[in-house]
Amino acid sequence: MWSSRWLFILAAAGSAVGLGNIWKFPYVVGESGGGAFVVVYLFCIALVGIPIMMAEVLIGRQGRQSPINTMRALVKEVDGSSGWTLIGWAGVFAGFLILSYYAVIAGWSMYYIVLMAQGLFDGSSPALARSVFSEFQQSPWLMLGWHTAFMVITVAIVARGVTGGIEKAVRWFMPFLVVLLIVLVIHGFISPGFDEAVAFLFAFDFQKITVETLLTALGLSFFTLSLGMGAIMAYGAYVPGSASITSMVVTIAALDTIVAIAAGLAIFPVVFAYGTELTVEAGPSLMFETVPLVFGNIPFGSIFGTLFFVLVSFAAITSAISLTEPGLAFLVEEYNAKRSRVAISLGVFCWVLGIGTVLSFNVWSDIHLVGNLNFFAFLDYVTQNIMLPLGGLFIALFAGFVLPKTIVGSQLGLDEGYKSVLWMILIKFCAPVGVSIVFFVTIFNSIS
C-alpha cells in the first residue's frame, strides 16, 4: 500500500513523466506539423486518456494484485469471459518491448550527463551540437555501453522493490526537474524564436490534421500517461481505499501535460532562433541538439546542463520501473519466485532486444522491417500506435460494460447524479469510439 494518496500521485506521475514528455513529445510535434497535432493531443488526454486512466486505477484497486491476476480475479467475480485476461498478458509483453528501446534512449541522456559535465558544449554552435550527436549515433559500442548501464541501474532498483528508495527519491527529483524546465522555458521566452515557437505549437490549422496525425496523437497520449499496458493498474493495486480516483487521476494527467508543453516551449524557440541550422523535423535527435546548445551558451550552463540530464535520466528510471512492474509482480506472485532473480532475467531479455535499437541508428539504419520502418521505428510504431491503444480500448470496454455498476460506482464514489452520467458517456462511448475510429480508419488507410 502507498503511504498516502500523494505518494501514489507522485509514483504515477513519476511513471507518466519521462522520455515521452521531454524527448518524444517535442520531436513528434515537430514531425507532425505543430499546433494541429497539439490540439488533437490535448483532446486525446482529456476525453480518452483520463477516463482510461481512471479505469486502470479502479480495476487495479478492485483486484489488488498484478494486472494478470487482477483480471483473472475480476473475471471470476463477475462471471465474465477469461479472454479479458489477455489485457494483462498483452500489457506485460508491450512493457518489455517498450523498455527495450526506452533503455537505449535513456542511455543517451546518461551519456549527455558526462558530456555536459566536461563542458564540451561551452560556447557551442548548432553545428557542434549536431556533430557531437551524429558521431555518437555512429558508435554502436558506446551506445551499447550506456544502454547496458541504464539497464543495470533499473534492474538493481527494481530488484530491491520500489517503495523504499524510489518513493523518497521521486519526492526530490520531480520538483527539481520542473524547476530546470522552468529555467529552459524562461530561456526560450527571452530568445528571438519564442513567438515563432508559440505560433508553431499552438496555431490550430484544421487542414493539417490527417488520419496519421490522429493516430500518432492518440498513441502518444497513451504513451506519456503510461496507459494501455497495466502499469497504472499495477500501481492502482496499492492505492488506499478511501482516496478519490477522479481527483488523483486529473492531477497526474495535468502534471504530465504541463511537463510536455514546457518541454516544447523550451526546445522550439531554440530551433527557430537558429533558423536553417536546426530543423523542427530533427526526429529523435531534437532534444539532444537543442538542450546542450542552450546550456552551452548561458552562465553556469554546464552545471545546469549536467543537472538537466541527471534529472531526465532519473525521470526515465521512474518510468522504466513501471514498465517492468506488471510482468515482475505477476511472476513473483505466480511462482513465488525471488524478486531479484525475476528482475535480472527480465532485464537480460530486454537488454538483448535493445541491441536491435542500438543498431537501428547505425549498422542497421537502412534495414526496413515494414514499409520504411527500421527496427527501432517498428517497435516504437507497433507498441505506441497499436498495442497501447488496443489495450486501452479493452480496458475501457471492460470497465464500461463488464464490471457491474455497483463496483464501479463504489470505487469512483459515484451516486446516480450527473457525474455518473458523465462517467458513463466517457467510458462507454467517448473512449472506445474514439480509439476505434482512429484505429480502424488508420488500418483501412494503410491497406488501401
Return residues touching ligand TRP (CB under 6 A): 15-16, 18-21, 98, 223-224, 226, 229, 231, 319, 322-323, 388
Q: Tell me which DSSP letter residue 370 carries.
A: B
- Minimum CB separation from ligand TRP for residue 194, in Å? 25
Task: CB nearer to ligand TRP: give 106 or 197.
Answer: 106
Measured torsion, CA atoms of residues 179, 180, 185, 186, in degrees rounded to the nearest 10: 80
Question: CA-CA distance, 57 to 38, in Å (whole number)?
Answer: 26
- Minimum CB separation from ligand TRP for residue 298, in Å? 26
- Minimum CB separation from ligand TRP for residue 226, in Å? 3
Question: CA-CA distance, 310 to 115, in Å (whole number)?
Answer: 12
DSSP secondary structure string for all residues of 307-360: HHHHHHHHHHHHHHHHHHHHHHHHHHHHH---HHHHHHHHHHHHHHHHHHHHHH
CB atoms within 10 A of CB 75: 18
Q: Tell me which DSSP letter residue 20 carries.
A: I
- Minimum CB separation from ligand TRP for residue 295, in Å? 21
Task: CB nearer to ligand TRP: give 16 or 68.
Answer: 16
Task: CB nearer to ligand TRP: give 11 or 282.
Answer: 11
- Minimum CB separation from ligand TRP for residue 190, in Å? 28
Task: CB nearer to ligand TRP: give 19 or 273.
Answer: 19
Task: CB nearer to ligand TRP: give 302 or 383.
Answer: 383
Q: Which of these, 129, 147, 151, 121, lies nearest to 361 by C-alpha position?
A: 147
| Burial of 188 (C-beta count, 10 Å sphere; 0-12/13-18/19+) | buried
In degrees and rounded to multiples of 5, residue 373 shows phi and psi of -95, 125
Task: CB nearer to ligand TRP: give 311 or 414.
Answer: 311
CB 84 within 8 A of CB 75: yes
- Minimum CB separation from ligand TRP for residue 215, in Å? 16
- Minimum CB separation from ligand TRP for residue 364, in Å? 24
CB 290 within 8 A of CB 214: no
Question: CA-CA distance, 98 to 320, in Å (whole number)?
Answer: 9
Task: CB nearer to ligand TRP: give 98 or 214.
Answer: 98
- Minimum CB separation from ligand TRP for residue 221, in Å? 10
Task: CB nearer to ligand TRP: give 120 or 386.
Answer: 386
Helix (H) or strand (E) run with residue 131 in it: helix 126-137
Task: CB nearer to ligand TRP: give 16 or 350.
Answer: 16
- Minimum CB separation from ligand TRP for residue 418, in Å? 31
CB 445 within 8 A of CB 211: yes
Q: Which residue's C-beta sits nearest to ligand TRP?
A: 20
Question: CA-CA distance, 334 to 72, in Å (whole number)?
Answer: 12
Residue 66 makes CB contacts below 8 A (sequence gap 6+) with 88, 234, 237, 326, 329, 330, 332, 333
